[in-house]
Amino acid sequence: MPFHPLGIAHLSAVLRQAGMDVIVRDLTFEEIDGCIPDLVIRQPRIIGIYIMLTMVGNALMLARKIRQDIPDAVLVCGGPLPTVRPESFDRDFDIVFRGEAARSFPLFCSDCLASASLREVLRRHHRYPGLHAVDPGSGMLLRTPAQAIDEEGMDSLPIPDRSDFPHSRYQKAWEDREGFSPACIMTTYGCPHTCEFCSKPIFGRYFRRRSMDRIMEEIRSIRSFGYDGLWIGDDCFTLDPGHVRAFCRRMIRENPGMRWTCLSRSDGITPEDAALMREAGCKKVFFGLESGSNDVLKLMNKNTTVESAERTLDLFSRCGIETAGFFMVGYPGESRETIETTLRWSLTLPLDEISFTIPFPLPDTELAKRISGLQADADWRYESENRLVYESDFDQEYLHKRIEETYALFTAGKKPGITSRSSP
């Protein structure tokens, strides 16, 4: 389901606050190169592109067209994938920004606009945390470490500027399918856990909370664009029970009737907290359940158990919150038997939605270090492509077939009149 790009809303807010002219082109509903004629007319000095997994091919194609048609623009990229694999982008882009860019990118832009050439700016490249670039004169690699912004710094940033996105199209897509229209928001950043497969390219393990006043201010801004819900994008919204309770109390007071969803681990939640979440409008919680085998959960360094997952799901479904489970099958080191256990287990749980992925070794994860035979064109090209991109003990066709069969059984169990699902 589509969401407007929140990172771009953050950056346009800080750039505008610093007095710069910003044009935002959200290509979610557009032909990718449809933006080029307009850019040719407007001749922006700096053009930035957001890139995550599945967007690499499109982003490189767009960058090459921009280079051809607007050769004088400084071409910059940022986001999750350039952060962990900057070398894949430093030939097509003049500058790659790694990590949180809300401070470094505006500084870079204002220096760039005030300088005669990019070379002059790059002479002082140490000023910009997270910069990665090949010096156009010497061919030398210029690199500065990315820098995380602390809680106080986060709260001093302006509220993301969402004024440039085609909201009615996002809202319609959601309304048609889910009956409400949520906007993405982050209330905390980072996650201290060390799951082997997880990539935390931008916010890392450094956990930070935003102040509740700022969160509520952002929700007022989101509502002013016509959204009636929130999709909380925090890596794990329920990490700090104090934060969850404070959020719920403010939602009850200030945004009654607004529905929201979040991601959670399957441990550490009390019945009282789940009930409070329900009262505060929580509609659905997404859980990374991953596997129905405790041995595989250990292999993943997940630090949860099958039993804790069952307890937590029971707790949420009892208090009327929908639950969704993400599972992985074909994990390196597991067996056919544990795969089948996971597939069966998913059908016994009180879940309203299930989603299976075959493992993708995201760059910079411990899993990526453990696998071998990674293919050269490894990036998935679309969401949940579920393509095996390394040497695996499992056959992709078998995994796809069993995933589809499990979805079919799950859907059959959800038909009106059928209240319980049984294992195959």
For CA atoms 217, 222, 227, 233, give the dihedral sign.
negative
Least distance CB 168 / ligand B12 (angstroms): 17
Least distance CB 211 / ligand B12 (angstroms): 16
User: What is the spatial distance between Cα 27 and Cα 68, in angstroms, rounded to a whole number?
Assistant: 19
Least distance CB 22 / ligand B12 (angstroms): 11
User: What is the spatial distance between Cα 15 and Cα 123, in angstroms, rounded to a whole number?
Assistant: 22
Q: Select 276 or 282, whichever has its Cβ closest to ligand B12.
A: 282
Q: Select 79 or 229, whichever has its Cβ closest to ligand B12.
A: 79
Least distance CB 243 / ligand B12 (angstroms): 16
Q: Select 31 or 382, whichever has its Cβ closest to ligand B12.
A: 382
Q: Select 47 or 315, whichever has its Cβ closest to ligand B12.
A: 47
Least distance CB 197 / ligand B12 (angstroms): 8
Residue 392, CB half-sphere, CA atoms under 13 Å: how many? 24
For 184, the 3-state DSSP assignment is strand
Q: Select 142 or 275, whichever has its Cβ closest to ligand B12.
A: 142
Q: Select 337 or 377, whichever has its Cβ closest to ligand B12.
A: 377
Least distance CB 230 / ligand B12 (angstroms): 12
Least distance CB 123 / ligand B12 (angstroms): 20
Helix axes 241-254, 212-224, angle to 10 degrees: 40
* Contact positions vs ligand B12 (CB under 6 A): 3, 5-8, 10-11, 48-50, 52-55, 76-81, 84, 97, 100-102, 105, 184, 186, 198-203, 233, 235, 357, 362, 382-384
60: left (phi over 0), alpha (psi -120 to 50) or beta: alpha
Least distance CB 30 / ligand B12 (angstroms): 14
DSSP string, 371-418: -----TT-S-SSTT-----S--SS-HHHHHHHHHHHHHHHHHHTSTT-
Closest to 218 measured CA to CA, from 183, 191, 192: 183
Least distance CB 95 / ligand B12 (angstroms): 8
Q: Select 78 or 332, whichever has its Cβ closest to ligand B12.
A: 78
Q: Select 225 or 310, whichever has its Cβ closest to ligand B12.
A: 225
Closest to 56 measured CA to CA, from 377, 387, 357, 390: 377
Least distance CB 156 / ligand B12 (angstroms): 14
For 261, the 3-state DSSP assignment is strand
For CA atoms 284, 287, 291, 294, give the dihedral sign.
negative
How many secondary structure helices (H) and strands (E) does the chain include?
16, 13
Can you point out the beta strands (E) in 99-253? 131-134, 141-143, 182-185, 188-189, 208-209, 229-232
In the structure encoding, which two tokens stand for residue 392, read together? 């695996």
Q: Select 7 or 281, whichever has its Cβ closest to ligand B12.
A: 7
- Helices of type H across 77-150: 80-84, 104-114, 118-122
* Burial tier of 369 (Cβ tally within 10 Å: 0-12, 13-18, 19+): exposed
Q: Select 200 or 265, whichever has its Cβ closest to ligand B12.
A: 200
* Burial tier of 43 (Cβ tally within 10 Å: 0-12, 13-18, 19+): exposed
Q: Select 100 or 334, whichever has its Cβ closest to ligand B12.
A: 100
User: What is the spatial distance between Cα 265 and Cα 238, in angstroms, rounded to a whole number?
Assistant: 7
Give phi and psi for 185, each to the nearest 5: -140, 150
User: What is the spatial distance between Cα 137 and Cα 330, in angstroms, rounded to a whole number?
Assistant: 47
Least distance CB 132 / ligand B12 (angstroms): 11
